[in-house]
Amino acid sequence: MRPALRSFLGFCLLVAAACAGVPPPSPVGAQPLDITIRSEPLLLKLDEPGLRTIGKLVWRGGISMTADSPNFGGWSDLHVSPDGRTLTAISDLGSWLTATIGQDASGNLIGLDRARIGSLRGLDGRPLSGKVETDAEGLAAMPDGSWLVSFERNQRIWRYPTLDGTPVPINLPEDFSRQPENGGVEALTLLPDGRIAAISEDYSTAPGMVVGWIGQPAGDNRYSWQNFRYATIPDFSPTAMASLPGGGFVLLERAFDMARGVRVRVMRVEAADLRPGATVHARELARLVPPAAVDNLEGIAATKGPRGETLLWLISDDNFNTLQRNLLLLFELEK
């Protein structure tokens, strides 16, 4: 069987088999652990080894990751430090990860090292356990060094002083609890003016749109919330969002079916379009489909490179399923 066809069939099976994934038997534990991450380089597209561009994105390297920890996986969002040296990620089974990013002389992604993994904690300071409580999906870095984390199933947003610290809850929009159990906020980001934006994966009040919220800080972990709508196309739902260093926002939208496998759209929204009461129509930058390097991509971050270029970092959730992979992809956004 040709490699491209074998890859395609694998992707067609991966989500259908997701429930067969074997999650770790317990959280990482009370203390973070050092781990070793093994990285295998990726091609942008299996059947076109020399391909460097897809849509408006230029390939800057990708890796498939494994590690010597049963808790390594399920990565649902990430943050990359402004200097492009440090990665922070969260898992939908309640773990966090930090690692140093390795790049070659041209600035292309080659691996991760000096990695640590730990448990997200609950309001009682103990490691979270059980899928209802651990399903962390969205991550936003705050100016004071704290983190906002959004969770599905038990729909909520908590603020962590550090990812191994004890969180405090923030108040939520009135309609936040109406989101589907497994269709809550995966797209979460800090706006340049200090507000936060959150978009539901599946909560809709009008055909072809999902609900988003903008939160204005109101003191003491409280926000004043206003709604907007995010326009979608059939089968695709937003899974991640990040602010671009030059202004505006980038998002991921994901779709899956057995005939076509996993497909991911990389989208752009201009800053002026994201406002309370608006219907936001994002512009497609690229579409990743098999046999391109794609999996269950759920996290995105954006940084500025050494030449002033905009870099996009994408991470995937393997569902702890051997048919899926933990991918980290790096693209440069064409000007």
Whole-Å CA distances, 135 to 49, 88, 118, 306: 36, 17, 15, 35
Pairing of strands 33-35, 297-304: unpaired
Q: Which CATH architecture has domain 3-333?
A: 5 Propeller (2.115)
* Low-confidence winner among 24-28, 218-222, 269-273 (lowest mean pLDDT): 24-28
- Quote the CA–CA distance of 89 and 67 in Å, as a whole number: 14
Mean pLDDT of the 257-282 span: 95
Q: Kind and range of the H or E element at 149?
A: strand 147-151
Domain residue spans of the chain? 3-333
Question: So what's the pLDDT on residue 269?
Answer: 98
pTM of the predicted model, to two decimals?
0.93
pLDDT digits over 289-334, tens only?
A: 999 999 999 999 999 999 999 999 999 999 999 999 999 999 999 9
**What whole-number distance in Å separates Cα of residue 73 and Cα of residue 92?**
9
Q: What tens digit of pLDDT does each residue of 76-99 get? A: 999 999 999 999 999 999 999 999
Assess whether pLDDT exceeds 50 at residue 175.
yes
Structure tokens at 98: 């930090």
pLDDT at 6: 40
Query: Residue 92: its pLDDT value, please?
Result: 96
Residue 4 has pLDDT above 60, yes or no: no
Q: Is the predicted pLDDT of residue 17 greater than 70, yes or no?
A: no
The residue among 10, 81, 78 whose CA lies nearest residue 298 is 78
Give the DSSP letter string of 32-76.
-EEE-EEEEE--SBTT-TT--EETTEEEEEEEEEEES-TT---EE
> What is the predicted pLDDT for the residue at 20?
52
Question: What are 107's two structure tokens?
Answer: 């600035």
Beta carbons of 335 and 315 less than 8 angstroms apart: no
